[in-house]
Amino acid sequence: MKKLVISTTVALSVLFSTVGVSMPASASAQEIYATNGHKFVNTAKSYIGKVTYRFGTKDPAHLIFDCSAFTQFVFKKNGVNIPWGSKAQTSFGSRVPSKSQLAIGDLVMFSVSKPGQIDHVGIYVGNGNFISNTKSSGVVISSLNTGYWSTRYITARHY
């Protein structure tokens, strides 16, 4: 019986090694991340011109949000639960070491009131731009590297 098991095992090993059977590789974390990141960005973009900004508000039924309620809403639409509040969202995921390492879908955090204090959040869309819900313009795509936001960037988070 032992010889039969060993010869069957050897025969199967030779068969599979010569036939070249390979199992499909599972998607890398980076590929999954890129797919999710694009989903977040596409969802956020679909709300341009449809959302009203109101500080401290989370009203999905009427599409009235502050910046962090909007990012929370977008993530939840894609099956990811994150906390409400720009400061609370800095504890979500892992820290992005530098702007040059941002990936599509990362949360980007800013200081707009007190220097160094995180009080605005958006979603990185790529090419140095991010999307967020702002008091002045509603949901808008802005540059991280020029204009108003360039000096207010604090940190970012991978989810």
CA–CA separation, 2 and 114 (whole Å): 76
Q: What are phi and psi of 64, to 5 degrees?
A: -120, 120
Contact 118, 111 (CB under 8 A): yes
Q: Is 145 a catalytic residue?
A: no
Exactly one of 62, 67, 78, 81 is catalytic; name it: 67
Q: Active site residue: 42, 120, 127, 145, which one?
A: 120
Identify the active-site residue in 36, 133, 145, 158: 133
123: closest CA among 50, 42, 56?
42
Active site residue 67: yes
- Token representation of residue 48: 């341009």
Please give the structure tokens belonging to residue 22: 């390979």
Beta partners for residue 126, in sequence order: 129
144's CB contacts (< 8 A; 6+ apart) are 99, 102, 108, 124, 128, 129, 130, 150, 153
Token pair recorded at residue 146 = 């020029």
In the annotation, is 120 catalytic? yes
Residues annotated as catalytic (active site), given as ranges: 67, 120, 133
